[in-house]
Chain A
């Protein structure tokens, strides 16, 4: 169980790692963040990176010692971009042990949190906006690569979570053609995103 001292040292461990990031690591984070922006409500790289650092520093995400910091942050950014509503929803779950008066010293009533905002009109509207934005962004990407048949196959394959061999088999691409197209697409995605998306 973590105590307050451990929480403080975790904060220092993460800030220490941020301070030590090298130029290439910052650029790697930048490229990843920019690639992740499609289909999200984040308007630019700074927003996504800051949100991720903030959640990490506040202890929402744990950095395992055996994972390189850049790998951890890129995965965390991906997760933030994917959307964390479900996790927030789980946090608000009320258990039998949370019933009021369970702790006579507490003046908090956990049942006040019951009826979370997952189905509130505001959330439903926000979800609809997110969905429309994701569909619009997906069209931009698909449209851009429409002229490149090999990349189109890669895109379809990734979207449907097909394996490399499945994509190669279906598309008739050689392994080299597939790898070249995959690299071109995945490394070029960030270039498609505008500098800053208007809110």
Chain B
């Protein structure tokens, strides 16, 4: 006999081991007779337990599918917002508005008279955007 003081939990572990060995040693017929002797119907027991297990399996399947779907969604790259580049006319308008602001520290002076080519405007636009004074694109919202 063990000299170590055994807790109730230790004793139950040993009891459960003995019980499982005993129940596994019983024949199918002994099991069915035992259920009937307990005033229960073996078919009812089987049907009820099976039905509950099937419900649980269906729930676990649903959860697994949901989890797979969420992982798939998380793995997909986020859609990039379509970018619309400004037209030359819009760029001109924005340039003029920018320089027309009353509190601006910048002024506009063209080297070759008042009339500018499209490439001049594009070049000016690029310089302004490069300095971060204006945004060269608009997002579609």
Contacts and interface: CB of A to CB of B under 8 A. Distances in A.
B45 A26 contact: yes
Given A138-B11, A161-B2, A27 B53 contact: no
> Which secondary structure dominates chain B's binding surface?
helix
Contact of B16 (A11, A58, A78, A166): A78
Contacts of B43: 23
A74 B7 contact: no
Interface residues of B, number: 40
Contact of B22 (A53, A81, A186): A186
Given A24-B28, A50-B56, A57-B60, A159 B22 contact: no
A53 B49 CA distance: 11
Report which residue of A27, A36, A81, A190 has the largest number of chain B beta carbons within 10 angstroms of its beta carbon: A27
B138 interface: no
A45 B40 CA distance: 14
Majority secondary structure, A binding face: helix
B50 interface: yes
Interface string B62-95: 0010000000000000000000000000000000
B50 A71 contact: no
A53 B53 contact: yes
A74 B28 CA distance: 15
The 8 closest A-B pairs by CB, nearest first: A134-B8, A26-B46, A39-B12, A24-B28, A186-B22, A159-B11, A23-B46, A135-B8
17 contacts: A18-B54, A19-B50, A27-B42, A28-B26, A30-B49, A31-B34, A35-B23, A39-B8, A46-B52, A54-B56, A78-B16, A81-B12, A158-B18, A159-B14, A159-B15, A186-B23, A191-B38
Interface of A: 11, 15, 18-19, 21-32, 35-36, 38-40, 45-46, 49-50, 53-54, 57-58, 70-71, 74-75, 78, 81-83, 130-131, 134-135, 137-138, 158-162, 166, 170, 182-183, 186-187, 189-191
